[in-house]
Amino acid sequence: MRIALLGGTGDIGQALALRWARDTDHEILVGSRDPEKAREKADEYETELDSVGVERDVKGFANEMAADRADVVVLAVPAFHVRDLVAAVADRVADADVLVTPAVGMDRDEEGFHYKPPKVGSVTQLVADAAPDGVAVVGAFHNLSADRLANLDVELDLDTLLVGDDEDAVETVRMLADQIEGLRPLKAGGLANAAEVESLTPLLINLAMENEGMHDVGVEFK
C-alpha cells in the first residue's frame, strides 16, 4: 500500500512516516507544497531510519503528486490549512482513496489550550464536507504526541481513536494504525462523534504543560 503524508515535513507527518517506514512494508510518500523540501525531508527520514538499522526508501513529492500516487492520504497539516489542502488535491484522489485527518481546532490563551471546532462541529466533518464525492474520510491520530511518536527509541503503549462513516475505510486505517508497534486503534463511532475525540487533544496538552514529567502524555483506555 502507498501512504502519502501531505504536509509530511511537519511534526505529525514526520512521526507517522518514521513509524510506518520502520514497522511496515508500505511505501511512504512525503508531500509538501515545496517538492524540494519534501525530498530533503525524505532523505532525512531515510538517514534517521538507517541509524536504527532500517534501510527504507522514502520518496518526496509536491502534495498533489503524492496524493495522486497514494492509496491512503494523511492530511498532516494544522486545522486552518486543511480545507485548502483538500481543495488542492481534490482532482488527484480517486474513489478508492481514504483521506485521514488528525487535525484539531484549538485556541490558546493565558489559561492554556481550548477546543475550537469549526461551525460544522469538527475538523473531521469539515474534511468530509470538502472531500470529493466517493472519497471516504476517517479521523485518527488526534491525541498522540508527535514528539513521542517520532522518537524511535521510545516504546509506545498508546491508543488512538478512529471515527468514520465508511466501515471499509475505517478498517483500512485501523489496520494501518495497528501495524505501528505499541499503538492500539479503537473505533469510536461515526463522524458525528469526531468532536468528542478531537476535544481530548487540548486537554492532554494542558496536562502536559501543568504537570512535570508529562511532556509526551497520551491516552490508554482500560
Task: Locate 41 and state its grid cell.
Answer: 525531508
Q: How far is CA 66 from CA 29, 93, 121, 181, in A?
A: 6, 10, 29, 25
Q: In angstroms, rounded to a whole number, what is the distance separating the alpha carbons of residues 184 and 201? A: 17
> Is residue 61 classed as helix, strand or coil in its secondary structure?
strand
Under 8 Å between Cβ of 21 and 49: yes
Distances (CA, A) of 85 to 32, 62, 89, 109: 10, 12, 6, 27
- Say what the pLDDT of residue 214 is: 81
Lookup result for grid cell 473505533: 187
Considering only the top CATH level, what class is 2-210?
alpha beta
d(CA 186, CA 221): 9
> Residue 40 burial by CB count (10 A; 0-12/13-18/19+): exposed, middle or buried?
middle
What are the domain boundaries of the chain? Answer: 2-210
**Grid coordinates standing for 151?**
522518537
Helices (H) and strands (E) in the chain, counts: 9, 10
Strand 72-75 to 2-6 pairing: parallel
Torsion of CA 178, 136, 218, 209, to 10 degrees: 160
**pLDDT by 10s per residue, the chain, length 222:** 999 999 999 999 999 999 999 999 999 999 999 999 999 999 999 999 999 999 999 999 999 999 999 999 999 999 999 999 999 999 999 877 899 999 999 999 999 999 999 999 999 999 999 999 999 999 999 999 999 999 999 999 999 999 999 999 999 999 999 999 999 999 999 999 999 999 999 999 999 999 988 877 888 898
C-alpha cell at 111: 489559561
